[in-house]
Structure 1
Amino acid sequence: MVRQVLFGQEAHAALLRGVDSVADVVRGTLGPRGRWVVMNDEKDHHPILVNDGVTIAKGLDHPDRLYNLGAQILKQASARTNEVAGDGTTTSTVLAQAMVHEGFKLVAAGAEPMALKRGMEKALEAARAQFKRMAKPLETDEEVGFIASLAANDASLGQLIMECVKKVGRDGGIAIEDSNTGSDSFEFTEGMQLGTGSGWISPYFVTDRERLECVIEKCYILITNRRISVVGDLIPTLDKLLQVSKNLLIVCDGLDGEALNTLVVNRIKGNLNVCVVKMPGASERQKSRLEDLAIVTGGRLFTSETGRSLSHVSVQDLGRAQKALVTKDQTTIFQGLGSKEAVEERLNRLKHLVPLANDAIDSLGLKERIAKLSGGIAVLRVGAPTEAALREKKLRVEDALNATRAAIDDGIVPGGGLSYIKAAFAVDRVPAEGDEALGVQIVRKALERPLWQIAENAGLNGNVIVQMVRELAGPVGFDARTQDFVNVYEAGILDPLKVVRSALENAVSVAATLLTAVGAVSIIPGTERMDEEDTDYESPFKKAMGIK
């Protein structure tokens, strides 16, 4: 293969073209008056309307491979923000684009890239500190509704999510399913979630590639705190299971080697409808949660301490549930078939242990387990007139749920770009000199960009709106929906702290990466199959090894 190499400003120009090819499409969707993007659905290639930043970014690739380098790096900002916070992907893209544009201008004028990076990192720390000062806990059901409505860009969906949270509690599980009636609704059912980090071990286990999730109906559940590597430990159990079912969920400490390969192959061939998840948590905490799962599902926990081989597991030792839903980060068990009396006994025991806990951390862990055992699952059913509209709506519901969970975890800050405006004042006070001071200003200018873009998408002059908001005191910001200046707390224009912080952190990281690049290298199309054996070139490695 032959590679094209660019250096300096030529490389920066190519990378910038790639950045803009993604950001210019994504940024038009920001805010309540953001517009939609028409793109082909990955599943059936039918046209769909989307305004979810990370989904749009995933579907964008520049045909020029050099430009595409910049596009792919920018997409990392939205992808990382989505992984950490589940929302804020468009904001992260807007921030990163602004920083890259300003940074490349400064580098072209002679600024030292590493000094710019140091200044950007100083500005980031100042902004983080300001976010923390502004943050407050999510206290009321109304605030939950505000957060969900803003993220979903739909007040009725926001209220439905609020009702779900109210029903199952803030630590309870919420699952999203398709509605059979075409309308939105939710119902409460028995079940539990294993916790963040309990997702599938391999993507080869997914049954829905679009949503990256695995659904197993009427499943049997093998529960162990062991790490499984040897397939021989599983084969006797699988042989027994296949006489009654091929639906199996394995919850363990990990799976690798031949055991993983064998299960994946059988999953792909259709011999087994299987998924493997890792139960999160340290040793004792993990074991306790596995015991809870065993009681809920009527199964038996096989521990490394007992010394009993997994090859001795019988079908009667397996837990059972009506359904298991496994995503990248979470496993939800619906209607476990364990004894209600055993679950109630377990709950009473845990409640008795709470006042006896050694410290606040142990007490919190016990309370979380009680919530998972008693809280149940809210099934949020989403409906739409067409399949394409349903997919788009479910993306917004997922964003809203993620934003709500993020707000519950870390609290809330003023929304609508106001937190970034307030952070810009803090960044103005960062002490720095020379090119580091210029790096500080890269971030400081970018902090105004989300509000600017929200205003522009509402058909207004972004520069005017930014300046007016900067002159206002207190929590007064711009409401793009009513095109008025309001107290954001009273108007419900709130953002999760985790989302605001993650969007800026990932934007700074991606922008700094691009600014410090000295060149860009890509493969020239049509040369991928060119092989060294097609030339007179003799590989030193092959020569040394005696390979012809």
Structure 2
Amino acid sequence: MLTRLGRSGGTTVRSFAKDVRFGVEARSLLLQGVNVLANAVATTLGPKGRNVLIEQLLISPRITKDGITVANNVQLKDRRHNMGVQLLRQATNNTNNKVGDGTTTATILARGIACQGLHVLRQGQVNVQLLREGILQGSRAVCKALDEMSVSVDTIGQVEAVAKVALNGEERLAELIGDTILELGEGGVILLKESHSPIDEVKIQEGITLPSGYFSPFFATKSEGDTLELGNCLLLLTLAKIDQVEQILPALNLAKVREQPLLIIAQDFSSDLLKILVLNHLQGRVQVCAVKAPNFGEEQRQEMQDLALAMGAHLLEDATWLAELDEEDLGEVVSAVVDAKETHLMQPINVNEEQVQARIQHIRELIEEAITDEDLDRLKTRLGRMQGHLATIYVGGTSDLEVSERKDRFNDALQAVRVAISDGVVPGGGTAYLRCIPALDKLPPAEVMEHQVGREIVRDALRLPCYTIARNAGVDPDEVLRQVIAGSGNYGYDAAAGEFGDLLTRGIVDPTKVLQSAMTDAAGIASLLATTEVLITEQPRKRKIPKNQITQDLAKLVGM
């Protein structure tokens, strides 16, 4: 409904009315959206979870079992239902940002807590803020109990067990991750890329690899094939565009005096200068090679600063710095291998380790703050260069759909492995949450009725992950719950094998931090949702589509 507010300079100012709902009705509308999202995400949980097919306009659909991917693609037409989706999605995103896994579990717990909270509110007069405090008390008790039952990850076999759970039981892929971490160490950097073949493979790069090769193939004409190898090589790093040979004469003279090859990495080179350098190289006066600095703008500056620290060199900002160059400004490596596409620098000499470690810590902090996947990949690449070794897992598949789905699972597995190494693991399959129920029962009696009710809500929600895993496996979830609760310790249900047993011995484990984060985020968001009293949304309005046939066809294509 449009309301005219007034005119200013011939322009009409208009405002759309708001839809306002209260109390039980408002919470019920939110809950409908919560249920849609939770039902979609819950289908992916466990080794026998199902796939979700997601439409992508103008390209092939995406198939995935990744909870966060499913959650981020659920959007409902009704604005009031969609607000419930957005609230619940916040829990999944919080968990994903913290630990990179556990999003499905967080969704299931949040829905369970929210539903129970709304049910309590319908029963009578309840102080909603005290109820929220009780829910948060229960979640803190669960996190403490998880911490007490956690065991450390000390072997590659345990690492592979964590990866196997995240990969839905694919043992070969878990072994591939285990072998990679064994090669790199706990702090190693692992990137994921799509392979052009159906086979998964790992490429480990020692030293520093830059994604740019020599400016001219004539630099490699005196070597075998298309690769130029420079032993005991000097490095000149600059952000300047080098136009004249006089600008780099001091560096060329130093290389000639020391009888060492010179590798120049600069922002750009003039064509005339390249001709002179190639001629100099071919005539054997000074063995030299020119390489373009990676990336552009501020990213180029950051990566060149990384490179300078890692190589023990000084980054020369502009041409005036080149004129004042001295021997200490040059870096030195045992070997440099340059081809048409990449430059490999191995075993730097005279590196300041304190500065390198400070830079590594700075990049790690940036990684924790990264928002987009592109920023995360770029920062991980920088970290791998600084550490001197980087592994890239090329994820294969028979189709783009399969590659995309497997890449999602690989990413979840890598994140799960990292938090497991840092914080330990607990029995998987939802068993750890069930073992937290006695910890809630042992809490001192609450002085306020709402606090006790909040704890009971959390207690009931702890059954849901195990219940959902069993249901997705096609067995009686109530019977599975009964048997697991009757057991103790690591005894639980192996959904992949359809058997009960010691889950730690079977390698069915969850990272402790993942379960703690899922519990905390679910309790926080769900308690807010359950205590909502007023819901305000925009009134739905019909979009105006031009009558032109082309625009009508385009509108239909995008669902308008």
* Pick aligned residue for 1:385 from 373, 378, 398: 398
**SS in structure 2 opposite 1:380?**
strand
Task: Give 2:196's match in structure 1, choosing from 171, 180, 189.
Answer: 180
User: Following TM superposition, by how much is the alpha carbon of 1:149 offset from its aligned partner in structure 2, in angstroms?
Assistant: 1.0
For residue 275 of structure 1, the aligned residue among 270, 286, 299 is 299
The within-5 A match list for 1:124-203 is: 124-153=139-168, 154-191=170-207
Q: What is the rounded CA distance, in whole Å, between the counterparts of 1:428 and 1:169 in structure 2?
A: 41
Q: Which amino acid aligns with 1:490?
A: T
Residues 297, 337 of structure 1: 8 Å contact kept: no
Matched to 1:217, the amino acid is P
Give the 3 Å change call, closer, same or farther, for CA 188–236 of structure 1 in structure 2: closer
How far residue 45 of structure 1 moved from its aligned partner, in angstroms, is 3.7
Pick closer, same or farther for the CA change 1:242–1:414 going to 2, 3 Å.
same
Shift of 1:293: 4.4
Contact 1:172–1:372 (Cα < 8 Å) also in 2: no
Q: CA deviation at 1:506?
A: 0.8
Corresponding residue for residue 122 of structure 2: 108
Give secondary structure in 1 for the equivalent of 2:535: strand
Unaligned runs of 5+ in 2: 1-15, 215-237, 244-265, 271-290, 358-381, 545-560
Residue in structure 2 matched with residue 400 of structure 1 by the alignment: 413
The alpha-carbon distance between structure 1 residues 2 and 299, as it changes in their structure 2 partners (threshold 3 A), is: farther
**CA 301–498 in structure 1, closer or farther in 2 if over 3 Å, else same:** farther
> Displacement, 1:175?
1.3
Residue 70 of structure 1: which of 67, 79, 84 is its match? 84
TM-aligned CA deviation for residue 314 of structure 1 = 6.1
- Partner secondary structure for residue 513 of structure 1: helix
Structure 2 equivalent of residue 422 of structure 1: 435
For the structure 1 residues 487 and 513, does the alpha-carbon distance in structure 2 shift closer, same or farther, using more than 3 Å as the test?
A: same
Is residue 2–residue 527 contact of structure 1 (8 Å, CA) maintained in 2? no
Q: How many angstroms does 1:296 deviate by?
A: 3.1
- Find out whether 1:340 has 2:347 as its counterpart: yes
* 1:423 Cα deviation after fit: 1.3
Which whole-Å CA distance do the structure 2 matches of 1:69 and 1:446 have between them?
22
Q: Give the deviation of 1:298 after TM superposition.
A: 6.5
Equivalent residue of 1:29, what SS?
A: coil
TM-score w.r.t. length of structure 1 = 0.70
Conserved? CA contact 2:151–2:425, under 8 Å: yes
Report the CA distance shift for 1:219/1:87 in structure 2 as closer, same or farther (over 3 A): farther
Equivalent residue of 1:340, what SS? Answer: strand
Contact 1:479 1:485 survives alignment (8 Å) = yes
Q: Does 1:479 align with 2:505?
A: no
User: What are the Cα deviations for residues 408-448 of structure 1, in whole angstroms up to 9, with x where unaligned?
Assistant: 11111111111111112211222323011101111111111
Checking the alignment, whether the CA contact within 8 Å between 1:65 and 1:522 is kept in structure 2 is yes
Deviation at 1:48, TM superposition (A): 2.8
The equivalent residue for 1:499 is 514
Counterpart-to-counterpart distance in 1, 2:241 and 2:81: 52
Residue 231 of structure 2 is matched in structure 1 by: none
Tell me how far apart the structure 1 counterparts of residues 193 and 133 of structure 2 sit (CA, whole Å). Answer: 46
Work out whether residues 308 and 315 of structure 2, in 8 Å CA contact, stay in contact via their aligned partners in 1.
yes
| Alignment partner of 1:241 is 2:267 | yes
- Structure 1 322/505 Cα, relative in aligned 2: closer, same or farther at 3 Å? farther
Cα distance change, pair 310–464 in 1 and its aligned pair in 2 (3 A):
farther
The change in CA–CA distance for 1:114 and 1:528 in structure 2 (over 3 A counts) is farther
Identity %: 31
Cα pair distance change 1:441/1:394, threshold 3 Å = same
Q: Deviations over 1:173-211 (max 9, x none)?
A: 111122233201112212579xxxxxxxxxxxxxxxxxx
Deviation for aligned residue 1:107: 1.1
Structure 2 Cα separation of the partners of residues 192 and 424 of structure 1 = 50
Alpha-carbon contact 2:180-2:391 (below 8 Å) kept? yes
List aligned pairs for 1:202-281, cutoff 5 A: 217-218=211-212, 241-243=267-269, 248-249=294-295, 272=296, 275=299
Which residue of the partner structure matches residue 71 of structure 2? 57
Q: Give how far 1:300 is off.
A: 2.6
After TM superposition, the runs of 4+ consecutive aligned structure 1 residues lying more than 4 A away are 234-240, 242-249, 276-279, 290-293, 309-323, 334-339, 369-375
Secondary structure, aligned partner of 1:182: coil
Cα displacement string for residues 447-493 of structure 1 (whole angstroms, at most 9, x for unaligned residues): 11000100111112222211211110221111001111110111000
Q: Deviations over 1:493-528 (max 9, x none)?
A: 011111111111111111011122111111112289
Tell me if the contact between 2:435 and 2:489 (Cα under 8 Å) persists in the aligned partners. no
Aligned to 1:89: 103
Question: Which structure: larger Rg?
Answer: 2
Cα deviation code 1:97-125 (max 9, x no counterpart): 10110000011112221111110111111
Which is further off, 429-438 or 162-171? 429-438
Aligned residue in 1 for 2:478: 463
Number of the residue aligned with 1:254:
none
CA distance in 1: counterparts of 2:91 and 2:122, whole angstroms: 24
Query: Residue in 2 aligned with 1:331?
Result: none
Q: Secondary structure at the match of 1:437?
A: helix
Contact 1:299 1:338 in 2 (8 A): no
- Amino acid corresponding to residue 419 of structure 2 in structure 1: A
Aligned length: 426
Separation of aligned partners in 2, 1:156 and 1:458: 22
SS at match of 2:54: strand
Secondary structure of the 1:275 match is: helix
Alignment partners' CA distance in 2, 1:238 and 1:113: 69
Query: In structure 2, do the counterparts of structure 1 residues 73 and 374 end up closer, same or farther at CA, with 3 Å as the change threshold?
Result: closer
1:117 alignment partner in structure 2: 132
